[in-house]
Amino acid sequence: MPRSLTIALAVQAVALLVLLALAAAMASADSEGRPGRALSVTCPAGTYLLSPWPGSVHAWPVLGGLALGTVACALLLRRITARSGDDGQRRVRARAAVGAWGVLVSAPLFAVSAMMGLGALSVPCQGATNGGAISALAVAVLISATTAGHCLCLLLLPQAYVKARS
């Protein structure tokens, strides 16, 4: 398994869980009264309802997919490593499995951080803490987009990556 990529993906998975927990805790009902779909912000000029927001309505499907996909990728890696055969082929298959898990982690992280960043940019009364949050979310968007592209390449072309590293 590619250790550095696996560690980076584990960090991104933790970041995704933290962002989903924050988003769900901050979420409120939208203008139609549906819970967990908007962000309510109170400014000196009044209260604003910002939508879309990755609240609990988005968090549960993402968490379910992440949990099922993680179990499936772990079982696949276990099966790959338990098989007898060529070491090179096992490496190629393991990289493809890690690439699949990477897409599973980084794509939702991109979507959640982008949605939260756009929501934070829409706040009419921005302060210093809002600027820091926007910067951190922009970094998360950039890193997750880059990781998703890299993992997609690992998934689709795992042999090319192994040959290039040899």
Please list, residue by residue across 142-165, b when 16 or more beta carbons sit within 10 angstroms of its beta carbon and e when fewer do: ebbbebbebbbebbebbeebbeee
Per-residue pLDDT, 166: 53
Mean pLDDT of the chain: 88
- Could you give the CA distance from residue 37 to residue 56 in angstroms, rounded to a whole number? 7
- Contact in structure between 138 and 107 (CB atoms under 8 Å): no
Instruction: For 38-80, write each residue's pLDDT tens digit.
Output: 888 888 888 888 888 888 888 999 999 999 999 999 999 999 9
Which segments in the chain show pLDDT lower than 70?
128-129, 161-166
- Contact in structure between 42 and 138 (CB atoms under 8 Å): no
- Contact in structure between 124 and 45 (CB atoms under 8 Å): yes
Per-residue pLDDT, 159: 76
User: Could you tell me which residues come within 8 angstroms of residue 154 by beta carbon, excluding any fewer than 6 positions away?
Assistant: 2, 5, 95, 96, 98, 99, 102, 161
Q: Which residues pair with 39 in a beta bridge?
A: 27, 50
**Amino acid (1-letter code) at residue 29:** A
Per-residue pLDDT, 164: 57
Least Cα distance to 77 among 110, 53, 99 occurs for: 99
